[in-house]
Amino acid sequence: MPQLAYVDGRVLPLRDAGVGVEDRGLQFADAIYEVVAVLGGRLLDWPAHLVRLRRNLAALFIDFPMSDAALSAQALRLVAANGHKQALLYIQIGRGAARRDHGFPSDPNASLIMTVRRFDFQQRIAQLQTGVGVITVNDMRWGRVDIKTTGLLANVLAKQDARNAGAFEAWMVAEDGTVREGGSTNAWIVRGGTVFTHPLSRHILPGIARSALLRLAADVQVRVVEEAFDLETARSADEAFLTSTTSPILPVVRIDGVAVGDGKPGPVTARLAGAIWADITAQTGWTAF
Ligand code: PMP
């Protein structure tokens, strides 16, 4: 079965899908996006993704006339047509194509692109046993990283640094030493049984997996505080982990090559992982275990 994409009302083979050279998403990263987990053919945390998508459109003054119901129907149709049980749905909405000029076009015509690619979530279960390593880099992004735009160059470079170092992720650290988040994941540590993560602000992306964890932690009697921590504190933490749509929760067992705690995935992270994967099963019917 060929991979299918959606571009402005048309469903077509991914290899034939494209946008014009004057698309503002292409030229200015004047676009927002979402990545949604598809498990058992169902969309995980879809209402939360819709809320974030609308907030990002409003933040960039992108006028997108399609209703939530119509967008949901198109997304589900594409997911069904692609037929993957485990996949990632990518949605990008931009200010559309116009003669190149920084200011907004006077008659903008927002564009919608969607793709569905197979994705192996089972590997994330295996990684719960081993954990992953992160490196640290300076956070050199712009001042509104809470808006999920396609302008991801600093994240791209950070992730490549991580890959070059044989690490899974790069944690982006502010000039004052505060750990903000990863290149595409939120960052967490555990100290004395309490979990810490950076509070919502203009300096982090409000992750959907992050909010799922905040909602579920109480179910497994884990205390979480939204309080920033610095790199030194992270290095001496008992445990660390990361969250995202593509990595619902993964233990971080090395920071810059140095073991966190005893260098093995810890018990608090394991309890949270149990709660998160149970919620994924409850929402989608998909079981990994
Ligand atoms: N931070 C950044 C910078 C990201 O790009 C992502 C992934 N979109 C996240 C955190 C995690 O967000 P989510 O849980 O919604 O995937």
Q: Where are the domains of the chain?
A: 4-119, 124-284
Does the beta carbon of 244 sit less than 6 angstroms from any atom of ligand 1? Answer: yes
The answer, as to whether pTM is greater than 0.75, is yes
62 Cβ contact partners less than 8 Å away, ≥ 6 residues apart: 30, 31, 32, 93, 94, 95, 108, 110
Beta bridge mates, 192? none
Contact (Cβ atoms closer than 8 angstroms) between residue 133 and residue 163: no
C-alpha 208 to ligand 1 mean position (Å): 7
- The pick from 146, 153, 185 for probing ligand 1's pocket by mutation, whose C-beta has the most ligand atoms within 8 angstroms, reads 185
pLDDT at 63: 98
CATH of 124-284, one of 3.90.550.10, 3.40.190.10, 3.30.70.360, 3.20.10.10: 3.20.10.10
For domain 4-119, give the fold.
Answer: D-amino Acid Aminotransferase; Chain A, domain 1 (3.30.470)
CA distance 213 to 49: 15
Q: Which atom in ligand 1 lies closest to the alpha carbon of residue 155? A: 3
Q: Which of 51, 66, 119, 121 has the alpha carbon at shortest distance from 90?
A: 119
- Has residue 2 got a pLDDT over 80? no
CB of 149 closer than 6 A to ligand 1?
Answer: no
Q: What is the pLDDT of residues 181-193, one digit of tens each?
A: 999 999 999 999 9
Q: Is the CB of 32 under 6 A from ligand 1?
A: no
Rounded Cα–Cα distance for residues 169 and 163 (Å): 8
Q: Which two tokens stand for residue 214?
A: 């905040």
Q: Over range 57-70, report the average pLDDT.
A: 98
> Which residue's C-alpha comes closest to atom 3 of ligand 1?
184
What's the CA gap between 282 and 274, in Å, rounded? 12
Give the integer Cα–Cα distance in Å for 171 and 130.
19
140-153 pLDDT, tens digit per residue, is 999 999 999 999 99
Tokens 């884990």 sit at which residue? 222
Percentage, residues of the chain above pLDDT 70 = 99
